[in-house]
Amino acid sequence: MGDLSEFSLPVRLFLRAYRWRVVDPVPWAPLRVPLARARLALVSSAGLVLPDQPPFDERKRGGDPSFREIPFDADPAALVDTHRSESFDHAGMRADANLAFPLTRVRELAERGRIGSVNARHWSFMGSLTAPGRFVAESLPGMAAAAVADGVDAALLVPV
């Protein structure tokens, strides 16, 4: 766990003043099939995009509420870090995108029979949204509908 003293003064002041939201109760849905038969999708707040996708818009006040679809066969080494936050060290994620978008690891789990299958598409969005209402209202329904259409049984959320 980091310490506030590790951050720049503007980031420290922002973190102290930010009105953190509490979600209670935490939404939960039990898995309906054994994990060894489940179709899994990745959902990451790392702000990673493919080279041919537009980066997340850093200029949007409150954060860019959009998302990017990342296909199953994407090369994690090709993912580009467009996360705007200065509150964490991006070096590890830039060196190995699997730290924030573990597509290679999920494929290995499927190969070993630990999960049933890996979905054909996954989702990346920008974390550090200071105005998450637009994301919840505009983006989440589209991601959820796509996951349902794909027959996804479980999503692995990788918060960054």
Q: Report yes or no on 146 lying in a domain.
A: yes
Mean pLDDT of 84-101: 86
Segments forming the whole domain that contains residue 124: 31-158
Do the domain assignments include residue 138? yes
- Find the mean pLDDT for residues 113-122: 98
Residue 4 counted as domain residue: no
User: For residue 121, is it within any domain?
Assistant: yes
23, 159, 45, 65 alpha-carbon torsion, rounded to 10°: 10
Task: Decide if 19 is inside a domain.
Answer: no
- How many whole angstroms separate alpha carbon 49 and alpha carbon 83? 10
* pLDDT over 90 (residue 116): yes
Can you say whether the dihedral through the CA atoms of 28, 32, 34, 36 is positive or negative? negative
Judged by average pLDDT, the poorest of 2-11, 27-36, 63-72 is 2-11
Confidence of residue 119 (pLDDT cuts 50, 70, 90): very high
Longest dimension (CA), the chain: 48
Phi, psi of 41 (to 5 degrees): -125, 150
Whether 14 is covered by a domain: the verdict is no
Q: Within 10 Å of residue 138's Cβ, how many Cβ atoms?
A: 12
| Average pLDDT, rounded, for the chain | 91
Residue 17 domain-assigned (yes or no): no
- Label residue 1 by pLDDT band (50, 70, 90): low
